[in-house]
Amino acid sequence: MIESTKFIKNLIYSWCIKEDRYGLTLPNIIGAVRLKTEKKNYSITDFFN
Q: Which residues contact 3 (CB under 8 A, 6 or more apart)?
A: 37, 38, 39
State which residues of the chain have pLDDT below 70. 1-2
Q: What is the pLDDT of residue 13?
A: 92
The reported pTM is 0.71
Half-sphere exposure of 25 (CA within 13 A, CB side): 3
pLDDT at 1: 55
- Domain range list for the chain: 2-48
Angle between helices 2-12 and 26-36 (to 10 degrees): 120
* pLDDT at res. 22: 86
